[in-house]
Each structure stands twice: as C-alpha cells, then as structure tokens.
Amino acid sequence: MKKLLIVDDSKAMRMIVRRALRQANIVEHSVEEASNGEDALQKLAAGEYDLILADWNMPQMNGIDLLKAVRAQGNKIHFGFVTSEGTGDIRDTAMQNGAEFLIVKPFTPEAIYEALKPLGLA
Amino acid sequence: MAYIAEDWLRATVEATSEFCETTLAMEMRTGVDAPRLPDNLTGCFVALVGSEEALQIGLASDPAGCQTLARTLFAAEEELSESDVSDALGEIANILAGGVKKRMAETFGGMSLGLPIVMEGHLRVTDRQHIAQLDIALGEVPVRLLVVCSRE
C-alpha cells in the first residue's frame, strides 16, 4: 500500500481531492492530510510517503516553498500540485523546482488519474 | 488595455459554469430563470491583483443557499458548521478567481490571487469603484456573482 499526503488549507478541498481519488478508482492507497507546508514537513519527518498532492497558496508555508524544502532535504518523493494557479509561469516554476504535474482546479477525477498513472500510482 | 467590470464578470460566469460541471455536478442557470436575491447576503471574495488591474471576485447567497452549496461541496447530508460553510465558500471563490485569472492571462499576465475573505451584509463601494453583478442559480441555489474593480 502506498501513502499519499494531501496538503491544502481548505478542509473542503482536501475532501474534494479524496473524493476525486475514489471516483478515479484510486482506492488502494492510504491517504493522509496536512493543512499547510509546515504541517506537511512534520508529517514527512515522522513517516514515509509516496506522493504529495499540494495546494499552491497556503498560509504559514505555501506549496512551492514546501516543494523546495522537500527537495533541499534530498527527498525524491513524487510531488504534484492541485491548485487554482494554472498559468504558464506557475506551471514552469513548479516543474523547475521538481514537481511532476500540476492539476488546475476545478478538475475531474480523470485529471487525477492521468496525473498519477505515469507515476505507477493509478 | 482597459477592461471594464463586465468583461471580468463574463470570465467569472464562464469559470462558474466550468466549476459547476466539474465539481458541483449542478446546473448553472442565468437570466430570467435565476431567482432574485436580497441585498443582505453572505459571500466570499478573493482579490486578483496585477500591475495594471486590481479587483475582487466574489459570490454570495442567502444563509440557506450558502449551507446548500457547502453541503454539496462536502457531499454532506448533515448541517455544516459556520466554519465549514466559510471554508467551502472560500474554496469556491478561490477556484472562480483562479478560473478568471486563467481566462485573462493572455491580457493580464502575472496576476496574483489573494486569500479568501467571507462577508455578511451588503457591499459598499467608493465613487472610484464599480460593481458588476449577475444573479444566477446553481441547481436551486440563488447565487450572486460579483466583480468589484476600479472605475475607468
């Protein structure tokens, strides 16, 4: 069983991502949640995960700073964004810093499936 | 290029339609079928700020409508807390503002999204600001889409 970490300050959005995973028939993984980048780093320090699905705009530590912090630790965990920030420059920044995909809200379960499939997680 | 509030409102309507189809599974209706709303509303705004433009994108409804929208988003049957309703409204406004940003990116690149703020009451603007609004229905929920921007 793989472990996924959803990082979003919105409880509603964390639930939407969970629902989309189920609707995409990605049900075999364990899913945990964090409410911002700092919270995510604490969870990463306490256990191993296979994928981070992070929002971009969050209080305390945003998504791109989380990604930079994770990569600075030498952690090669799969990392993707689920965000309202869908413009080209945001996408470029994400990829240059080691993200593997960026899903723009609003999204469909198919978008989640297509993003996770190349990583062997769907 | 000068854009007026109605242009931004048009992008907001398109973003709302997309959100309804992909996430809420609700039909969006505009025009004569849409129910009228009172001025005293609960809503949420997200700022969209760039070097040339600064505006607020928002949506509002009556308390029952906000509860229904939040429960739809959470897929919840039970009554939700005020905190959860605010969270849901914030996420909806965030997604709509992101959709507007995406649609206007060719003209206004480099705009940034602010954090959602929830409001109750009626909106007051200064002489230097302009509001464009449209009453729509999401399923059976009456919703007012709002754009506040500077007067040209």
> May I ask the CATH class of domain A3-110?
alpha beta
Q: Please check the confidence at residue B2 and state whether its pLDDT lies above 60.
A: no
Q: How far apart are CA B84 and CA B70, in angstroms?
A: 7
Neighbours of B140 (CB within 10 A): 11
Taking the model in full, what pTM does it have? 0.89
- Give the residue-averaged pLDDT of B9-22: 95
Each residue's pLDDT tens digit, A30-86: 999 999 999 999 999 999 999 999 999 998 999 999 999 999 999 999 999 999 988
Residue B146, domain extent: 5-150
Q: Please check the confidence at residue B1 and state whether its pLDDT lies above 70.
A: no
Q: Please check the confidence at residue A119 and state whether its pLDDT lies above 70.
A: yes
| Chain B CB within 8 Å of residue A16 CB | yes
Q: Give pLDDT, residue B152.
A: 65
Give me the DSSP letters along A10-56: -HHHHHHHHHHHHHTT--SSEEEEESSHHHHHHHHHHS--SEEEE-S
Q: Please check the confidence at residue B68 and state whether its pLDDT lies above 60.
A: yes
Cross-strand bridge partners of residue A6: A33, A53
Q: Give pLDDT, residue A80.
A: 98
Structural contact between residues A108 and B22, judged by C-beta atoms closer than 8 angstroms: yes
Q: How far apart are CA B58 and CA A97, in angstroms?
A: 32
Q: What is the nearest CA distance from A53 to chain B, expressed in angstroms?
A: 16
A106, B18: Cβ pair inside 8 Å?
yes
Nearest by CB to A87, from B84, B88, B102: name it: B102
pLDDT greater at residue A89 or residue A49: A49
Q: Give pLDDT, residue B35.
A: 67
Q: What is the nearest CA distance from B127 to chain A, expressed in angstroms?
A: 31
Whether residue B35 is preceded by a cis peptide bond, meaning omega within 30 degrees of 0, is no
Please state the domain count of chain B.
1
Q: Give pLDDT, residue B19.
A: 94
- Give the residue-averaged pLDDT of A14-41: 95
- List Cβ neighbours of B81 (8 Å cut-off, separation of 6 or more): none
Q: Please check the confidence at residue B48 and state whether its pLDDT lies above 90.
A: yes
- Give the residue-averaged pLDDT of B28-32: 82
Q: Give pLDDT, residue A87.
A: 83
Nearest by CB to B98, from A16, A85, A88: name it: A85
- Give the residue-averaged pLDDT of B10-38: 87
Q: Give pLDDT, residue B27.
A: 92
Q: Please check the confidence at residue B141 and state whether its pLDDT lies above 60.
A: yes
CATH number of domain containing B114: 3.40.1550.10
